[in-house]
Amino acid sequence: MSVGAPVQWRLEDREPVFDPRELSNGLVADLGEVKVEAVAVEHGLETFALRISMADATFAYSADSAPCEALLRVARDADLFLCEAGTMADSSPLHLNPSQAGEIARAAGARRLVLTHLRPSASPEQAIRLARMTYGAEVKVATEAAEFDIGAAPA
Q: What is the pLDDT of residue 90?
A: 85
State the Cα–Cα distance between residues 78 and 108, nearest whole angstrom: 8
Q: What is the pLDDT of residue 108?
A: 98
Name the superfamily (CATH) of residues 31-141.
Answer: Ribonuclease Z/Hydroxyacylglutathione hydrolase-like (3.60.15.10)
Q: Packing angle between helix 98-108 and helix 124-135, nearest 10 degrees? A: 30
Q: What is the pLDDT of residue 3?
A: 46
How many CB atoms are located within 10 Å of the residue 4 CB?
5
pLDDT in tens, 39-77: 999 998 999 999 999 988 999 999 999 999 999 999 999
Of 106, 97, 88, nearest to 64 by C-alpha is 97
Q: What is the pLDDT of residue 7?
A: 46
Where are the domains positioned within the chain? 31-141
Mean pLDDT by 10 residues, the chain (155 residues): 46 62 87 92 94 94 96 97 92 91 98 95 95 97 91 58
